[in-house]
Amino acid sequence: MRRRSIAVCLAVLVAAASILASVAVAGPVGKPRSSADGNSQAIGAVVRPSRLYGKRFTPASLEVTSVLRTTTAANGVPVPTTDVRIDFDENGRIFTKGYPTCKASKLQNVSTEVARRECKLAMIGQGKATALLPVGNQVFVVKQTVTAFNGRPKGGKPVILLHSYGTTPVTTALVLVGTVTNYDKQGFGVRLDIKVPLIAGGAGALIRFNTTIRKRYRWRGKRRSYIYARCPNSKRLKLRSVFKSLDGQTTKPVYEGRCQQKPEKRRKKHR
């Protein structure tokens, strides 16, 4: 009995190590925040380049990473997230005018290859995700490829579509729809509200999600960028978020990153 108990403990430890390894992140995240259901949620963001003007908005890219874990679920699968709200620093902006859009319906239940072919012109970024899917007594770790697209505006508001697809060992296809608004309060500017579809009716969960939005294009004869940023005198860029779970519980992780100011360009005087 003792040997069997040791073997079971070792099996559990190996499984736990496998799941923890799957949430290794590409970008930094802040301190996790916990909720009553045992969920532990963290978020982080990186703006590139790190050297930005202090007053003038310049083209940039934005990488966002979120990590979800559980401290109570026996099988290691957290209560799934259904809604996410992210408020970004007021020193960041989104510009979508003149850029092609894609219908969310074109991304439903299709592979990454099909999604990128159908909405090639609307693609704005990419990343990686990890999902946990329990089947019987086994929990599958599903690695996914994330592709970000510029969606069709909703009520005049920009929309970002996040297509997440994986095939090994179980096929999963998700489309997360994010609506962009201007919050413009308390030092925050852009607000992103995201609807997260359930995996297997709520049995599975996305435990890691990483996306980098980076797109330059031309509109009306000028070079444009989907993301613009500047570095304030504090040399800090912040974000706050609210993650709502299927059971109604919420976690509110925050993050603060650093930036560097570079000298403003002097405008040429006309004689």
Q: Helix, strand or coil for residue 17?
A: helix
Q: Give the C-alpha distances (Å, rounded to integers) separating 219 from 95, 97, 222.
A: 11, 8, 5
Q: What pLDDT does residue 12 have?
A: 36
For residues 264 and 61, give the distance between their C-alpha atoms in angstroms, rounded to a whole number.
20
Q: What pLDDT does residue 266 have?
A: 73
Q: What pLDDT does residue 3 have?
A: 43
For residues 147 and 176, give the distance between their C-alpha atoms in angstroms, rounded to a whole number.
10
Please name every residue paired with 87 in a beta bridge, in sequence order, or none if there are none. 191, 240
For residues 189 and 186, give the distance between their C-alpha atoms in angstroms, rounded to a whole number.
8
> What are the structure tokens assigned to 223, written together?
């070079």
Q: What is the DSSP string of 141-156?
A: EEEEEEEEEEEEEETT
Residue with tokens 């590139």: 48
Residue with tokens 């179980």: 170
Position 167: which residue type?
A: T
Q: What pLDDT does residue 18 have?
A: 47
Q: What pLDDT does residue 82 have?
A: 98
Model-level pTM? 0.89
Q: What is the mean pLDDT of each run of 10 residues along the chain (271 residues)?
A: 37 42 66 97 97 97 98 96 98 97 97 98 98 94 97 96 94 96 97 97 97 97 97 97 98 97 75 53
Q: Give the C-alpha distances (Å, rounded to integers) separating 156 from 162, 168, 178, 211.
A: 19, 38, 13, 24
Domain boundaries, the chain: 24-260
Element spanning 47, H or E: strand 39-48
Residue with tokens 């989104």: 94
Q: What pLDDT does residue 26 have?
A: 61
Q: What is the chain's Cα-based Rg?
A: 20
Q: Helix, strand or coil for residue 173?
A: strand
Residue whose C-alpha is closest to residue 232's, from 82, 105, 57: 57
Position 44: which residue type?
A: G
> What are the structure tokens assigned to 267, written together?
């405008």
